[in-house]
Amino acid sequence: MLSLEELAAIDDFRFKHRMPTRAAAVRELLKFGLAAVGVDAAAGVKSSSFGVFGRGPDGHTQGDPDGGTEN
């Protein structure tokens, strides 16, 4: 959820850079932000690489199926 001011800033960026959609502008801004903090968001990088929790080979959270943690 964004405030009206945040939406206006995204729309200003979008129109200034002649972007087709708000989503395209958000993706570009995210790319700039990640690059600014030194994260390489190049093609081929999976979103799970940026997750908080560990993921198994099938994309599921690793751990005990009963809710415990893995040793």
**pTM for the complete prediction?**
0.55
Residues 45-62 have a mean pLDDT of: 59
* 44 vs 26, residue with greater confidence: 26
pLDDT tens sequence across 7-43 = 999 999 999 999 999 999 999 998 888 888 887 766 6
* Side-chain-side CA neighbours of residue 29 (13 Å): 17
* Helix 22-36 vs helix 4-16: crossing angle, to nearest 10: 90
Most confident of 2-6, 11-15, 51-55: 11-15
Q: Which spans in the chain are helix H?
A: 4-16, 22-36
